[in-house]
Amino acid sequence: MPPLFGLLDCNNFYVSCERLFNPELEGQPVVVLSNNDGCIIARSNEAKALGFKMGEPYFKCKPLLEHHRVRVFSSNYALYGDMSQRVMEVLGCLEPEVEVYSIDEAFIRLPAAGEEGLRILGTDIRNSVRQQTGIPVSIGFGPTKTLAKLANRLAKKHPEHGGVFAILPESDIGAILKGIGAGEVWGVGTRSTRKLADHNIRTAYDLSRASETWLKKHLSITGVRTMHELRGLSCFPLEETPPPKYSIACSRSFGVPVTELREMHEAAVCYLSRAAEKLRAQQLKAGCLTLYLTTNRFRTDQPQYANSRTMTLPCPTADTAELIVQAMRCLKELFRPGYAYQKVGVLLTDLISEHIHHQRNLFLAPRRNRDNLLRALDRINHRWGKDTLQYASAGFSKPWHHKQEMKSPSYTTSWRELPIVQAF
């Protein structure tokens, strides 16, 4: 018999991370906001029951949040990323074949088994993850990734399953799929859902029985593979090695509008430093840099401006100082006085492995080898916290910094923010 797939998904992950170090939040409605406290990106079950939607702007629903006494938190990605790594490490110790799919999801592959065996296995994994990390998870099993994803959705939606659900070849898959909307299927977005509805394909069952020719024409080969996956034919293999990145980006909306070149310079250097750190962590170098900036397009009462510059670097690099020099050249060309800017961002592309030998520029003097210096910089910031060491051109006061007025402490990644236990 072919192997099965499992999908582990952390329940309301960002909210669960906040509750882990603040137990009084249990049973209370909680939401987490996006960067700059812009919109809702995570909700507890209690907040969902009150009708708050994903992506809802914070400024619009703030009065209602206060009325219902919903606890609101700014996003704390340092905490969420660290807790995600801990969950994945526990899962890796329990199962040999794991694909980390996102910050709160991972696929596993395991030998064929019966429903009772999968229920016991899923319960054991849930208990181990909860015991060792404190994060609640749900698990779905199926003969394909798509069916495992749907099984996980059912495990979450119906508490009577105990957080574990399996869709097996011997299950009545058709009956299960008839109760699931086509838009709920993994990989089917809003546009595709509308196309399917126009063709009277409204449920996952309808999609599993759709014409292969029509799907290929309107949803490409990916739609065809999804159809086969719903029928139980595996088309998406387990990817234990993450695919190579094609780009690395870093951008944030400002907490207050920026009008001065000096502040824009500081923000660009700050974000470029983050992107360069990611490059080195993944042992990559960038051959191309893009810098872009924009005003707030929703402020129609203000003059609007947006522009970008892309520069091919003289030589692929992950050196922050070299990238800053090139980015500042772009910024001088882009910046226009008289505008209130909302965002600046950097995008690094044309990525290659740092271990690949590349053609050097014949017209540039050989640069000093700063690899040891950069490694020391990254180690210090990793051990003692972000921006322990930083380039002076990134500024210190950072009045433009994005809003994080309700951010919880970085309990697991900052010495200064460790939880304090008091004994009486």
Same domain, 257 and 352: yes
Same domain, 226 and 256: no
Amino acid at 423: A
Determine the average pLDDT of the residues in 252-269: 89
Domain assignment of residue 368, yes or no: yes
Q: Render 140-173 in DSSP notation, one character per residue.
A: EEESSHHHHHHHHHHHHH-GGGTTEEE--TTS-H
Domain assignment of residue 415, yes or no: no
pLDDT tens digits for 157-193? 999 999 999 999 888 899 999 999 999 999 898 899 9
Residue showing tokens 């010495």:
415
Task: Give CA–CA dist 208/199, Å, rounded.
Answer: 14
pLDDT at 356 over 80: no
pLDDT tens digits for 198-207? 999 999 999 9
Same domain, 367 and 294: yes
Q: Please report which helix (H) or strand (E) contains residue 410, including its range.
A: none
CATH number at residue 337: 3.30.1490.100
Same domain, 316 and 377: yes
Q: Which stretch of 99-108, 273-282, 386-395 has the lowest confidence by average pLDDT?
A: 386-395
Domain assignment of residue 311, yes or no: yes
Domain assignment of residue 314, yes or no: yes
Same domain, 113 and 200: yes
Same domain, 161 and 276: no
Same domain, 324 and 204: no
Question: Are 270 and 400 a contacting pair, CB within 8 Å?
Answer: no
Sheet holding 30-33, edge to edge: 40-43, 30-33, 71-74
Pairing of strands 30-33, 40-43: antiparallel
Question: Are 107 and 3 a contacting pair, CB within 8 Å?
Answer: no
- pLDDT given for residue 84 in this prediction: 95
Same domain, 144 and 110: yes
Task: Give CA–CA dist 128/135, Å, rounded.
Answer: 10
Same domain, 276 and 162: no
Give the residue numbers spanning the domain of 89: 4-10+80-230
Same domain, 102 and 156: yes
CATH number at residue 188: 3.30.70.270
**Three-state DSSP class for 237?**
coil
- pLDDT given for residue 67 in this prediction: 94
Same domain, 87 and 226: yes
Q: How confident is the model at residue 309 (pLDDT cuts 50, 70, 90)?
A: very high
Same domain, 189 and 311: no
Residue with the bigger pLDDT between 253 and 206: it is 206
Task: Give CA–CA dist 178/346, Å, rounded.
Answer: 45
Q: How confident is the model at residue 359 (pLDDT cuts 50, 70, 90)?
A: low
Domain count, the chain: 2
Which residue, 374, 369, 244, 245, is CA-closest to 320? 374
Whether the model pTM is above 0.75:
yes
Which residue, 82, 75, 8, is CA-closest to 42? 75
Q: How confident is the model at residue 365 (pLDDT cuts 50, 70, 90)?
A: low
